[in-house]
Structure 1
Amino acid sequence: MNAKGMAGASGTAWAAIAGLLLIVAVPFAAILLQASFPQLSQGNFGEFLTPVVSAFSDTSLLRMGRNTVILGLLVVLASAILAVPLGVIRALYRVPFARVWDVLLLVPFMIPPYIATLGWIMTLQPRGYAQQLFGFNLAPVLFSVFGMTIIMTFNTFPVVYFAVSRTVEAVGARYADVGRVFGASPRRAFWRITLPLSAPGLTASLLLVFASSIEEYGTPAALGGRAGFPVLVNGIDTRVSDWPIDLAGAAALSLALVALSLVAFLVQRWIINRRSYQTVSGKPQSKDKRELGRARLPVLLIFGAIAFLATGVPMLAILATALSRTISGGLALDNMGLQNFVAVFSNSAGALGALGNSLSLGIGAALVTGLVGVVAAYTVVKTKTRGRNVVDVMTVLPNALPGIVVAVGLILAWNMPALPFTAYNTPLILLLAYCCILLPQTSRYATAAFQQVGDNLEAAARVCGASASTAFRRIMLPLVMPSLASAMLLVFALASRELVASIILAPVGMQTIATFIWRQFEQGSMGLGMAMAFVTIILTTLIPLVLLKLLQRTGLVAE
């Protein structure tokens, strides 16, 4: 690489580091310091590592850590079993109503996990909707490790589905066809060619599923207690919410989650570094798709069944609750009405303001994480800059930080008296929290996409006189844009309904969608809360679809 190219790579690396320092390093450093020096807020640097030693000498930590790993692995396994076949079929075959299925499988991202879990509880509990309609309940199954795994899988498997469908579609069937020419059977060509070339996207998505599972708060809080299955997040929540408040102990337990996430990250790196996964072109090859033939009807039935379970059941439960005048009235016609939806659109309790705040913050988080994530991924994969491994680690660290811990870290970091400016008690601190929590979505997807783009494409542009920035903007970015745009849409959906950090960090007088719904539940207005949830899900589904359509018209994303 010439001097100009080295300068360009160095500039890209510094831009990535600057963004990661602000978004990731600041709250993480605050957490690390709090775990190391429990009296730091009083200016006392004594009792070094006392919280860490105390936490790791607690026998309950071993149980919570074991349960966390088991739950994460079970959700990863279930997500892979559910999503990989669907993603491969979607990528390689002409599936009828393919875009409809994509939309239906995107909806679980729009449903907050705590809302989806509540929907399943209201459906399967004794005297729930299933019992009212069909005469049975599945409470023993729901309140179990199996029930937790299934519900969390329905919330997370679309990550794997979209990653596999996009990466396999980019690979296409042409490489497998070459293998078929040389005598490989269709099954052997898939297992030895198509699937290995898709490994970056698959492993990145499974890492995200594992990290999301070990830090998920809503489902373990709602079901874990009755299932007798406490996890690390439960321990952190107890130390933060129960008196006496133990911020140092919560930070120490967070380090255990950091360790688990880093192990998963190292496993992913080991898989990726074993061989090269580059292809000549990173663009999807829709013309390579084949007809399903006799498998058409079974495939439609499978897509329909999974879409109903992942999207239909929780959505119908949310709608039934939103239409109910009183929860005790059950599914009776005289108990149904639109009064809760009327209250939302008449700005009852500030509903419209909360909606606008969350949508604005969601768009901002998508743009910021998209920019920082793609620059960081390019630095890690396509440059030889020193420190790129540190950049890679920093992009995965937020996976291990529960939203409640990120919130505490931001409070500690931005409440220092010496700061000339503070983001605390402003909307900016919510944006920083969302970006920290969701940055791995864009960075991992972009990393996987860059790993599939051959170095010869950028090198050819540089030989023809293009600068580093031009080659990145005109060649590299368009090739990874399909994966990056999908990730940014996921960030928008997830940021719009984030709960824990929003409750702790929302400025005085400012509501978000999640805090509005949570407060309605606390006040006993479950119907109003569910009406707001239903409206939010519809809007946060339509907005990404409109944005995706606009990107397709501009040619940034393939049709």
Structure 2
Amino acid sequence: MRSPSAFTIAGGEGFSLAAVAFLVTLLCGVPLALLFAIGLTSEGGLSLGPLAETLASRSVQRALWNSLESSFLSACLATVLGTVLALALGLTNVRAKAPLVFLILLPMMIPPHVTAIAWSQALGPASPVLQALGLAPAAGAPHPVYSLTGLVALLSFQHMPIVFLVVRAGLRAFPRELSDAARVSGARTPRLLWRITLPLLAPSLLAGFVLAFVSALGNFGINALVGIPARYTTLPVLIWRRLAGYGPSVIGDVALISMLLGIVTLGLVAIQVLLQRRMRNALVGLPQQPLAVDLGRARLPVEAAVWLMLAAALLLPALSLFATSLMRTYGLPLVASSLTLENYAEILFRQAVTLRAFANSTIAAALAALLIAGLSILLGYFLAMRRGMARRLAGLVAAQADVAYAVPGLVMSIAFILMFLRPLPVLGVSLYGTMAIILLAYVAVFLAIGLNSVMAAYMQVDASLDDAARVSGAGFFRRLVRVHAPLVAPAAASGAILVFLTSYNEVTVSALLWSSGNETIGTTIFNYEDGGYTTLAAAMSSVTVVATVLVMLAVNALARHVPAGAIPWKD
């Protein structure tokens, strides 16, 4: 007699899997397939001619080199910073680890264009904080942020938390017996780190480096707001400029440039997978804290160094951002007569575009979070509870979501333009230029975030629960609603909040999809700064930073009800 887990899918279960596979393929797989079809076909059929012709352009070559250079340098710096912080917090007895982890991950949740605005206002000649301290650069002096060095530094700070998370997770997988055996053999802490910990961390270090590289490669906010004044054009900025400057007639051209960006990204991920297979080491034992280094007298200096680093990375730009938002005019000294709340009144109560942007982003991010939570619960069931063909099909669907998340957001934007520019069959309605296309793009790009959180919960659910419910006569939908959904709901809620945080402030995905009347918070802030309305951009950025921190603090209420790892900044 077959076990219940081996039953073939049928009825509502089969229909649900088919529906999820169709929807995810339509949103994640088909747009990217259309994008690659443009680069690999010509009038005569399959050809690399269009892609080769695009690559021959000097402007594309320069932008490609700039993208690779800035991404590589920033990924190296982010890997060093993230690894040092992960080792300090993961292996030693420093205090206040929970707030430190929260602060380390905060830059990852702050939109990159807000990061660029904050740092440009913090270090420029008109910086209100530096002016008050008498440290502002002389008027007319080159802005330190508007350079390759500034661009690399900002990209590094933005993506360092990604490396921190990956390395921290790698440390948690270490069995403690390794360090204990080395200590018994007489190895001191430096030798232990160099000969055991770091070699075993090699796959995690590589994964963190590649993630930081790919994130920098597709970053639009920092590359645009810092790279354009520095005359350092990268591929995302080149795509935005060409589409914004020449209109829909150049969609084919920017699609080919986007394909280059996608090829580089997927190539890096493939190389990472191959290298990690060679680096993989089988560890035996329960995952525990691998080391418990007592810093002794060095603990206070180490703690001070970590706090000072975080203060330098967060406090100065935050103070400058909020100070600028209170200025009557950008560049005035930080004195009482220069301060006003008019900028906040303007964006919160008077400017129709900002009110519309807040509403659009809130609705789109909330709907995307809810849709992703539902899809993740359904797809996670087939990944965790089913076997055979059902699980393989679900795995293929999840892989499409991972690819859509891995490729830069601008690439997915171009893919969605290709997919939805023409009117939909039967309906005869085009989604281009509407909030619907932005909402669908959010679902496609951020589905992997929600799915990973839900899968962490599903992995802790015993499959026998599903078998028992099936034997008792419960149908698929009844099992899903009464058994599985309640068990994974906290993790789904946590994932939904992370999706909301990510999409609420983003600009990379919506930069090419927004239109008049369908602005988002990210595009409005970018347009304010690009148009010279610095104080309004600072005020709107300040509101989004406060909202982001409040939502992150609210997520902590779920900490006791979700599996470990579902909330990145909680143990």
The answer to whether the superposition gives a TM-score over 0.5 is yes
Deviations 1:94-141 (A, max 9, x none): 432222222322332343222221222223234444652333438464
Instruction: Kindly provide the CA deviation profile for residues 367-400 of structure 1, in whole angstroms up to 9, marking residues without a partner as x.
Output: 55567679589959x9776578865763443356
Matched, 1:104 2:107: no
Look up the match of 1:338.
341
Report the AA paired with residue 4 of structure 1: S
- TM-superposed CA distance for 1:286, in Å, is 7.5
- Quote the RMSD (CA, aligned, Å): 4.6
Shift in alpha-carbon separation, 1:242–1:81, aligned structure 2, 3 A: same
Describe the shift of the 1:219–1:191 C-alpha distance in structure 2 as closer, same or farther (beyond 3 A).
same
Give 2:35's aligned residue: 31
The question of whether the paired residues in 1 share the 8 Å contact of 2:126 and 2:332 is answered with no
Q: Verify: 1:548 aligned to 2:549, yes or no.
A: no
Among 248, 256, 269, the alignment partner of 1:265 is: 269
Q: CA deviation at 1:273?
A: 2.5
Question: Deviation of residue 25 (structure 1)?
Answer: 1.4
Alignment partner, residue 176 of structure 1: 178
Looking at structure 2, the residues matched to 62 and 507 of structure 1 have their Cα atoms a distance apart, in angstroms, of 30
Relative distance call for 1:522 and 1:125 in structure 2 (3 A) is closer
CA change 1:460–1:511 in 2 (3 A) is: closer
Amino acid at match of 2:83: V
8 Å contact kept, 1:123–1:317:
yes
Residue 537 of structure 2 corresponds to 529
Alpha-carbon distance in 2 for matches of 1:525, 1:229: 23
3-state SS in 1 of match to 2:313: helix
1:511 to 1:416, Cα distance in 2 relative to 1, 3 A: closer
With the length of structure 1 as denominator, give the TM-score of the two structures: 0.79
- How many residues are matched? 544
In the alignment, is residue 4 of structure 1 matched against residue 5 of structure 2? yes
Residue 50 (structure 2) pairs with residue 51 (structure 1) = yes
| Letter of the structure 1 residue corresponding to residue 176 of structure 2 | R
The corresponding residue for 2:256 is: 252
Indicate which of 214, 222, 226 corresponds to 1:219: 222
Say which is worse superposed, 462-471 or 542-551, in terms of deviation: 462-471
Do the aligned partners of residues 200 and 438 (structure 1) sit closer, same or farther apart at CA in structure 2, a change above 3 Å counting?
Answer: farther
2-side partners of 1:225 and 1:533: how far apart?
A: 20
SS, match of residue 224 in structure 1:
coil
Please say if 1:74 is aligned against 2:80: no
Find the residue that maps to 1:96 and give its secondary structure.
coil
Aligned to 2:445: 437
C-alpha separation in 2, matches of 1:197 and 1:6: 41
- The whole-number CA distance in structure 2 between the counterparts of 1:466 and 1:196 is 46
TM-score by length of 2: 0.78
Matching residue's letter, 1:158: P
Give SS of 1:502's match.
Answer: coil
- Matched ranges for 1:464-503 at <5 A: 490-503=498-511
Q: Secondary structure at the match of 1:142?
A: coil
Amino acid in the other structure paired with 2:513: L
Q: Aligned partners of 1:358, 1:17: CA distance in 2, in Å? A: 27
Write out per-residue CA displacement over residues 457-495 of structure 1, whole angstroms, 9 at most, x where no aligned residue: 999969997989999x999x999x98x988765543321
Give distance in 1, aligned partners of 2:381 and 2:158.
26
Q: Is the 8 A contact 1:217 1:233 kept in 2?
A: yes
CA distance in 1: counterparts of 2:528 and 2:231, whole angstroms: 28
Unpaired segments ≥5 residues, structure 2: none
Return the letter of the residue paired with 2:300: L
Deviations 1:228-279 (A, max 9, x none): 5332223322321223642111111112112211221112212332335677
8 Å Cα contact 2:34-2:415 kept in structure 1: yes
Provide the rounded CA distance (Å) in 1 between the counterparts of 2:181 and 2:496.
35
Measure, in 1, the Cα distance between the counterparts of 2:363 and 2:21.
26
Letter in 2 for 1:329: L
19-28 or 286-295: bigger deviation: 286-295
Q: By how many angstroms is 1:150 displaced?
A: 0.5
Q: Which residue of 1 aligns with 2:423?
A: 417
Q: Give the aligned partner of residue 312 of structure 2.
A: 309
Paired position in structure 2 for 1:144: 147
Structure-2 change in CA distance of 1:222 and 1:94 (3 Å): same
Check conservation: 1:176, 1:194, Cα contact below 8 A.
no
Q: Among all aligned residue pairs of Structure 1 and Structure 2, give the percentage whose two residues are the same amino acid.
A: 25
The amino acid of 1:179's aligned partner reads: A
Measure, in 1, the Cα distance between the counterparts of 2:203 and 2:450: 14
Q: CA 1:47/1:177 → structure 2, altered by over 3 Å: closer, same or farther?
A: closer
Q: Quick check: 1:430–1:506 contact (8 Å CA) kept in 2?
A: yes
Q: Comparing both structures, which one devotes a greater share of its residues to helix?
A: 1
> How big is the shift at 1:77?
0.8
Preserved CA contact (<8 Å) 2:221 2:507:
no
Q: Residues 248-397 of structure 1: matches in 2 within 5 Å?
A: 248-274=252-278, 275=280, 291-346=294-349, 348-349=351-352, 351-352=354-355, 354-366=357-369, 368-369=371-372, 394-397=400-403
CA drift of 1:213 comes to 0.7
| Secondary structure of the corresponding residue to residue 246 of structure 2 | coil
CA gap of 1:288–1:362, structure 2 versus 1, over 3 A, is farther
Task: From the superposition, tell whether residues 59 and 346 of structure 1 become closer, same or farther in structure 2 (CA, over 3 Å).
Answer: closer
Contact 1:84-1:164 within 8 A present in 2 as well: yes
Letter in 2 for 1:217: F
CA contact (8 A) 2:127 2:331 kept: no
Correspondence for 2:242: 239
Quickly say closer, same or farther: Cα 1:530–1:46, change in 2 above 3 A. same
Alpha-carbon distance between aligned partners in 2 of 1:66 and 1:184, rounded to the nearest angstrom: 48
Asked if the contact 2:34–2:418 (Cα under 8 Å) also holds between the matched residues in 1, the reply is yes
Match of 2:160 among 157, 160, 176: 157
Measured after TM superposition, the shift of residue 163 of structure 1 is 2.9
Give the 3-state SS of the residue equivalent to 2:425 in structure 1.
coil
1:108 maps to amino acid:
P
